[in-house]
Structure 1
Amino acid sequence: MVSAIVLAGGRGNKFFPYATIRNKVCFPILGTPCVLRLANQLIQSGVKNIVIVTGYKEQSVRYALRNLKEVTFAKTEGNEDIATAIRKAIDLVETEEVLIIHGDIVTTEQNIKEFLFSHKSSNSEVSMLISENPPEPIHTLRVYISSNEFDCFDYDGKSSIWFCNAIIGNTYIIRKSALNETGYSKDVPVGAMPEPQGSLISIIEAIKDSNVSISVIKSKDFLIDLNHPWDALKANQLVLHYLFESLEENKSHDTAKISDGADISSNAKIIACENTVIEKGCIVQGNLYLGRGSQISKGAIVSENVFIGHDSLITEYSKLHADTVIGNNNRIAFSAEFYGLTLDNVFMIHNCCISGILGSNVDIGAGTISATWRFDNKVREIICEGRKEMPPYYGNLSYIGDFCRTGVGVMLMPGVRVGAYSCLGPGTIIRTDIQPNTLILCEQKLNIEKWGPEKYNNY
C-alpha cells in the first residue's frame, strides 16, 4: 500500500495569466479541476491516504476536493520550500512508501497504476517516473540514465537523452535523513547553477548521495505538467484524444435530440449527454462530446475531436476547429470561429476569429481577431521569471485571462498574454503582454472640417 503527497501550494508564476483567481492545480481538464482528476486517479489506483500540501489560493484547492473523504490537507506558510512542505505532510502519511506528485500533473489512470506496479516489482527503495521523447523547451532539466537507474542531473543541458521533470510522478521512501540533507547539489559542472536548496530535485540528489539507488520507470502514456498556459491546451487535447480512443461505441442519452438532417461524419464517435441538441443543417466532421443541455444549431460547424461542456450554445454559422475544448455556459454565435480552449461563461459573437485560451467569464467583442503567424515564421519569445523561453508548441496563440473583455475590432498579435480583469478597448492592437487589472484605450486624432453638398460640385 502506498500513500500520496500531492504538492498544490505553488504560486504558478509561469502559468500567467491563469493563476490570478485560482491555484493552477485547479485549472480544468475537460471541465474537471486538474487536482481533482489526479486525486480520483490515485484513489482508483489503490491510494487511499492522500495528503494535499496547500499554500497559494488554498481555498480553490479545498473547494475542488471538498467531496473526497480520502484527502487531508497540510498548509505551507509564506515562502516555505518543498522539502519543508513534505516534512509537514509526512506526519499525516499512513504508510512507509509515499508517492510524491505535483497537483498539476496530467496523465492517465493506467499510467499511474503501471508506475505503482513497476515500482513494487523493482524492489527499489526509490523510483522515478520519466517521460520519453517529450517536447524540448529551453531550460528543461534532463537526467543521465544508467542501467535503468538515475545517475545524475544534466545541468548544462547538452548530453543526456532522457527528459526528467523531477516533480512528476516520483515514488520515494521519504526518510528524515534524506530530508535533512537537502543542501546544494555537489556534482555540478563549472559555471552551471544547481536547483535551489530545499527543492524536490535537491531531495533526489541528497538521496542519491546517500548511496540509495533510484530506479527509473518510463511513462507508458502521456505525462505533462501545467508549467505554462500552452501546456494546459496540450493537456486538454491529449486527454480528449485519449477519451475518444477509449470509446468503443457511440453514447447518446435518451433525451438527446440529434436531427436526421444534421450532416454528421460516418466515422464520428459521438457522446451526447442528456437534453443535448444537434439541429438540422449543422455539420459535425468528427468525434464530439456534447455536454448536458448543450446545443449545436442554425448551421454551426464542428470539426473533429471537439469537447463541449454543459449548457453551451454553438449557433448561427459559427465554427469550432479541430481539437477544441469548450467550457460550460459558453455562447459562440454569429459566424464566430474558435480554436483552442475556453473556460466557463465565455461569450463570443459576430465574426470573431480567436485561437488560444480564453479564461472564465470572458466577453469577446465583435470582430476581435487573434493573429497566429508572424512574417518571420518564428515563435514569440516570452519572459518567464526573468529569463527568456521559447514555447515548444502553441507559442503564437492568444492567452486571455479570467474576467477580461474586448471591444469591437481588437487585434491580438501572435503570442500575447492578457492578465485577468483587463479590458481592451475598441480598435486596439495588442503587441505585448498585458498585466492584470489593465484598461487599454486608443488615442484618436480627429480632423474636423466643414462639409456640405457644395463638396460634390452639384451646383
Structure 2
Amino acid sequence: MNYLTNTMDIGNKDKLRAIILAGGKGDKIFPYNSKWQKSCLTIGNVPNIIRIIDQLEKAGIEDTVVLVDYLDTQVTYNLRDYKKVKIVKTSPNTIRNDIYNGIGDKDAIIYYGDVYVSDEDINNLLLTFINQGSCILLEKKNNNFRYSDYICANEKDGIIRSIYGHPREHYVNSRIGGVFAIENSLSEYIRYCPETFLNVPVGGMPPTEFFLEQCIMNAIEDHKEISAVYVNRPIVDMDFPWDILFANEKYCIEEVGKLEENKIGINVHISDKAKINGKLYIGDNSIIGDNVLIKGNCFIGDNTIIENGVIIEENCVIGHDSIINDYCKILSNTVIGNHNKIGFTAEISGVTFDRVSMVHHSQIFGVVGRGTDIAAGCQVAIMRFDDLENPNRVGNKVYNNRFSNAAFLGDNTRTGIGNIFYPGVKIGSNCALAPGAVIQKDVQNNKIVFVNQDLIIKDWDSDRYGW
C-alpha cells in the first residue's frame, strides 16, 4: 500500500531520498551492544532496519541509502535481499560528509535506525513536508521519558523555535523524534555543522561529535522555517535495554491488537479442545494442540507447535520454528523469538530473542538474549515480591520507569538452576552463572559467576526423635 498515492505526485516522490543512520555503537543499551547493531534489534521478531525500509517503501520512497559503521556486516546481512538499497560505510569522522553526499541533489528523509515510529506518523511527516517544506517529528512530554535525557525542542504555532540538548523542563515542550524531512537547500547546514552540540544548559557537557539536530538549530538561527509534526503514538528510541520492552509492547498493542480477522496459513491444525478468545495470524504448518488457551489476538509464525495446556494472554507474538508446551504461560504483550523452546510451567513476560530455551518453573520478566538458556527455577524478583519501579544506573545517571526493573540477559549466556535476578540487573553476553546464585548487581560480558558456599555439618541421627 502506498499511503501517499493521492497526495504525492511522481515528481516530488522521485526527488525524495531516505538516509537511514545505522552505525551507532550504543553502549547504553548493554548487555545488547556487544553483539547487536541497534538498528538490527528486533521488534515483533523483525529487525528494525527492515521495518523502517518496508515502511518507507509503503509510503512510496524507494531511493534509500543506509549509513553503517559499528557491526556493519549485521546490517548488510539483514538487507541482503534489498538490492535497491545502497549501503555506505561511514565513521564518526566522516558521517557529516556522508550524510551530505548521500542527500546529493535530492530532498531527504533522515531516519535514525534505532527509533520505532508508527506508519501513521511517518505518513503525517511526509504529508507535512509536501505541503509545508522541512519538518521534524516531535513527541509531547509523557511518563515514558524526561526531557533532560534527550535532545528536545521548543515549538510554538506549529514551528520549531529552538532545539536544546538535554535541557531543563522549562526550556522545551517536546522531544525530537529521530525522523527529519529536509529540503535540499538545507543540506549546506549539514556540510558546515560544528563538531558538537552548542545549545545546552549552563554547565552542560556535550560530547565532541556530529549532531544532526545542531544542523537544524543553525538553520533556525538563520530564520529558516522548520515545521513541527507531533506524533499520535509514542516514539521509542532504543537507547537503553528497557526500550526494547517499550518497542515490542508498542508493536503488540498497535499491530497485534488491531487484528480484526483470522489469517490462517496452509496445513495449520487447531485442536477442537483449544480455546481461542481472539483473532489469530498463523503461518504455515503450525499446530495449536489440546487444552491451549489463547486469551486475545496472537501472531504465530511458521512451523510452530503450541500444545498441552499452554496459556497465552492478549496481543502476543510467537516466532517460527518454536515449541511452546506443557502448561507454560506467556503474559500479555510478550514477544517470543524464533526457534524458542518454552515449556513445563515456565512463565515469561517481555521479549526473548531467537534460540532461547526456558523450562521447569522458571519465571522471567525482561529481555532474554539470543541463544540464552534459562535453567530450572530461575526467578526475576519482581515477578513475586518487588513490583515497584526501581532505579537503574547506566553510567553515572539513574533512570526510573516501569520497565527499568526488569532483568536483561545478554546473548549466549547460561543461567544456573535456581538463579534469582534482582530487579534491573543486567547480565552480559557469553556468561555462565552457577546454580543457586543470587544476582544482585550487573555482570559484565564474558564472566562466570560462582557461589562461595560455607557448609556447616553436625551430627544428626535417630536419637533426635526418641528412638
**TM-score of the superposed pair, with normalisation by structure 1:** 0.91
Query: Does the 8 Å contact 1:369/1:409 carry over to 2?
Result: yes
Bigger shift: residues 437-446 or 68-77:
68-77
How much has 1:313 moved relative to structure 2?
1.3
Shift in Å, 1:428: 0.5
Residue 175 of structure 2 corresponds to 164
Deviation larger for 57-66 or 445-454: 445-454
1:127 matches 2:135: yes
Shift of 1:148: 1.1
Contact 2:252 2:334 in 1 (8 A): no
Q: Between 301-310 and 39-48, report the one with greater CA deviation.
A: 39-48
Q: Any conservation in 1 of the 2:96–2:190 contact (CA below 8 Å)?
A: no
Inter-CA distance 454–375: structure 2 relative to 1 (3 Å threshold): closer
SS in 2 for 1:136: coil
Kindly tell me: are residues 192 and 264 of structure 1, through their superposed partners in 2, closer, same or farther at Cα, counting changes over 3 Å?
A: same
Match of 2:231 among 208, 219, 227: 219
1:402 to 396, 403, 411: 411
Alpha-carbon deviations, 1:98-121, whole Å to 9, x = none? 111111121223322221111110
Matched, 1:18 2:32: yes
Q: Aligned letter for 2:84?
A: E
1:307 aligned residue? 317
Q: Which of the residues 238, 254, 264 maps onto 1:242?
A: 254
Q: Could you tell me which runs of 5 or more consecutive residues in structure 1 were left unpaired when the two chains were aligned.
A: none
Q: State the match for 1:331 in structure 2.
A: 341
TM-superposed CA distance for 1:179, in Å, is 2.5
CA contact (8 A) 1:230 1:395 kept: yes
Following TM superposition, by how much is the alpha carbon of 1:440 offset from its aligned partner in structure 2, in angstroms? Answer: 0.4
Tell me the equivalent position of 1:40: 54
Q: Which shifted more, 23-32 or 210-219? A: 210-219
Q: Quick check: 1:301–1:320 contact (8 Å CA) kept in 2?
A: yes
CA contact (8 A) 2:363 2:383 kept: no
Aligned to 1:436: 445
Correspondence for 1:293: 303
CA RMSD of aligned residues (A): 2.2
Deviation at 1:8, TM superposition (A): 0.7
Distance in 2, matches of 1:196 and 1:382, equals 26
1:345 to partner: Cα distance = 0.6
Once the two structures are superposed, residues 133-154 of structure 1 have per-residue CA deviations (whole angstroms, 9 ceiling, x without a partner) of: 4422352333111221111134
Q: 1:374 to 1:312 in 2, by over 3 A?
A: closer
Map 1:156-305; keep pairs closer than 5 Å: 156-160=167-171, 162-165=173-176, 167-173=178-184, 174-182=186-194, 188-193=200-205, 196-265=208-277, 268-305=278-315
Gaps spanning 5+ residues in structure 2: where? 1-14
**Once the two structures are superposed, what CA deviation does each residue of 1:22-75 show, in whole Å capped at 9, x if it has no partner?**
211111111111111101111221222211111110100111111112211221
2: CA distance between counterparts of 1:377 and 1:113?
A: 38
Superposed CA offset, 1:153-190 (max 9, x none): 34532214532236334435342354313265555553
Corresponding residue number in structure 2 for 1:91: 101
Residue in 2 aligned with 1:423? 432
The total of aligned residue pairs comes to 449
What amino acid is aligned across from residue 355 of structure 1 in structure 2? F
More divergent stretch after superposition (289-298 vs 200-209):
200-209
Quote the Cα distance in structure 2 between the aligned partners of 1:382 and 1:350.
Answer: 29
**Following the alignment from structure 1 to structure 2, what is the Cα–Cα distance between the partners of residues 118 and 139?**
27
Q: 1:145 to 1:455 in 2, by over 3 A?
A: same
Cα distance change of structure 1 residues 86 and 402 upon mapping to structure 2, 3 Å threshold? same
* CA 277–188 in structure 1, closer or farther in 2 if over 3 Å, else same: closer
After superposing the two structures, state which structure 1 stretch, 282-291 or 163-172, moved more: 163-172
Q: How far 1:434 sits from its partner (Å)? A: 0.8
| Contact kept in structure 2, 1:4 and 1:47, CA below 8 Å | yes
The SS at the match of 1:232 is: helix
Decide whether aligned partners of structure 1 residues 187 and 373 sit closer, same or farther in structure 2, where only a CA change above 3 A counts. Answer: same
In the TM superposition, what whole-angstrom CA distance separates every residue of 1:370-414 from its partner, at most 9, and x where no partner exists? 012798865332332x32131333111111010011111100001
CA contact (8 A) 2:198 2:214 kept: no
| One-letter code aligned to 1:424 | L
Residues in 2 aligned to 1:289 and 1:186: alpha-carbon distance in whole angstroms: 46
1:379–1:390: 8 Å Cα contact kept in structure 2? no
- CA pair 376-249 structure 1, distance change in 2 beyond 3 A: closer
Give the Cα separation in 1 of the matches to 2:311 and 2:201.
55
1:111 counterpart residue number: 121
> Which amino acid letter does the alignment assign opposite residue 263 of structure 1?
K
Verify: 1:61 aligned to 2:88, yes or no.
no
Change (3 A) 1:62 1:197: closer
Alpha-carbon offset, residue 449 of structure 1: 4.4
Quick check: 1:3–1:94 contact (8 Å CA) kept in 2? no
Distance in 1 (alpha carbons) for counterparts of 2:79 and 2:258: 26
Does the aligned pair in 2 maintain the 1:49–1:93 contact within 8 Å?
no
4+ residue segments displaced more than 6 Å:
373-377
Using the size of structure 2 for normalisation, the TM-score is 0.90
Task: Provide the secondary structure at the position in 2 that maps to 1:389.
Answer: strand
Alpha-carbon distance, 1:431 to partner: 0.6
Task: Judge conservation of contact 1:293–1:311 (CA < 8 Å) in 2.
Answer: yes
